Amino acid sequence: MKKTLWLVLSGMLVAAFVLSACAKPTPTPTPPPAQPTQPPASTLKGTVSLWHAWKESEIASLNEVIAAFQAEYPDVKFDILYVPFDDLRGKFETAASTGGGPAVLIGAADWGPAFYDAGLVADLTPHLSADFLATINEAALGAVEYKGALIGLPQTIKGVVMYRNKAIIPEAPKTWEDLVAAAKAATQGDVVGANLEYGFFFSAAHLNGIGGKLMEPNGDPAFNNEKGVEWVNLLVSFKDAGPTEYYTDNDVNLFKAGKAGIIIDGTWNMGALVEAIGANNLAIDPWPAYKGGHLSGYVQTENIYLNANVTGDDQKAALAFIQFFLSPKAQALLADPTKAAHIPAIKGVEVTDPLLKQAVDAFALGTAFPVIPEMGAYWGPMDTALKSVFDEGADPAAALQQAYDSIVAKIKEIRGQ
């Protein structure tokens, strides 16, 4: 459920898109993305120990990726351990803090900063080329950058997107004005053209999309300005398109019932929406343009980490496997809709499932979800500010100032100042 998801995210962070007039020149073909240089198969040995908490369908794809890797590096062995998700973080922390643990961990993105601060995961920057990093979705890459380091790599992405029921609104709106007009035209009887969510988690990335930012790279607030006010006013205008929601499932339930044309929700609900209205009716649209920018949604990742303890042949094998995991071959295997159904974290992967492809395109205008500890200071104050504007008609500038002051104080507590 949406509300439950927000509560979980909030709790975890408190304890984080896009012509010439006459003769057209012949376009220059775009070369395929450069791939990292891998060691020769004959020299790569060692054992890749890996811990994960994947479901059975995901494990099927993981086994295919391992088999493809071993076809290239037959002397590398694997030692795989499934750990229930609720136990995975603690088990890794305990093992890695005493010099042990797996060479590779697949786990949640918000674990990364604490792991890095504790010296449990390695900075991958020295091991990866600029050409390789350029193949990764920019927002996804941003989610693993912390204190100037790459604390892991994003092996798949998920996040906030805009869904459309093609039976209600046949064409994707290109601009915010198009969306409002299409929603109004489709609203009749018990059908609403749009029911938009503007809870903070689902709406904060619009600020980045229109040219502002929630915070500085170090976590200090950066929203208390003209762009912040423009963002809040954009959210207020959501009511022009139809009813709005603040962390409820009313929009999702209406959409499932075929009574809403456009909603904003997470890719984690894609399967349920397909089941409810049919794949032929469901679309994920690119974020519409707004003035000089566009709307946007947070992009989150699940990461693959390198244990800081691993050395020698095992480290070389682990690094090669981590890079292979983000190769087009591996990412295509992981995107199999009948198995893992992961949304690729790299560009240029040929995705066969139309909705997964649409999600990839939408994420091109996405915003990296902040996973730094300071994000925990934002939830309460920003919720209070937005609700005061939406529900009580408070002045946006004054509401943002109050949120700013509260966040600055909370950040000092987080930093122990």
In a domain, 216, yes or no: yes
Amino acid 417: pLDDT? 82
109 and 149 in a single domain? The answer is yes
99 and 130 in a single domain? The answer is yes
The SS3 of residue 80 is strand
Amino acid 12: pLDDT? 44
Which residue positions in the chain have pLDDT lower than 70?
Answer: 1-42
d(CA 361, CA 358): 5
The SS3 of residue 119 is coil
190 and 234 in a single domain? The answer is yes
**Proportion of the chain above pLDDT 90, given as a percent:** 88
99 and 207 in a single domain? The answer is no
174 and 293 in a single domain? The answer is yes
Amino acid 16: pLDDT? 36
In a domain, 282, yes or no: yes
In a domain, 19, yes or no: no
Report how far apart, in Å, the C-alpha atoms of 163 and of each of 228, 272, 283, 284 are.
25, 12, 6, 5
Give tens-digit pLDDT for 375-407. Answer: 999 999 999 999 999 999 999 999 999 999 999
Amino acid 8: pLDDT? 44
In a domain, 116, yes or no: yes
285 and 309 in a single domain? The answer is no
326 and 238 in a single domain? The answer is no
Residue 239 DSSP one-character state: G
Amino acid 39: pLDDT? 64
CATH number at 244 reads 3.40.190.10
- The pTM of the full predicted model, rounded to 2 decimals, is 0.85
Place of tokens 């922390």: 93
239 and 188 in a single domain? The answer is yes
Please tell me the total count of domains within the chain.
2
Amino acid 353: pLDDT? 93
d(CA 64, CA 54): 14
CA 305 from chain center: how many Å? 17
Domain end call among 248, 267, 299 = 299
319 and 289 in a single domain? The answer is no
In a domain, 400, yes or no: no
310 and 241 in a single domain? The answer is no
In a domain, 267, yes or no: yes
Give the domain range for residue 66.
Answer: 44-157+300-368
Nearest alpha carbon to residue 346 among 158, 134, 151: 134
Evaluate whether 191 touches 254 at the Cβ level (below 8 Å): no
69 and 183 in a single domain? The answer is no
Evaluate whether 298 touches 367 at the Cβ level (below 8 Å): yes
In a domain, 332, yes or no: yes
Between the CA atoms of 244, 249, 251 and 253, what dihedral angle is there, to the nearest 10 degrees? -160
In a domain, 21, yes or no: no
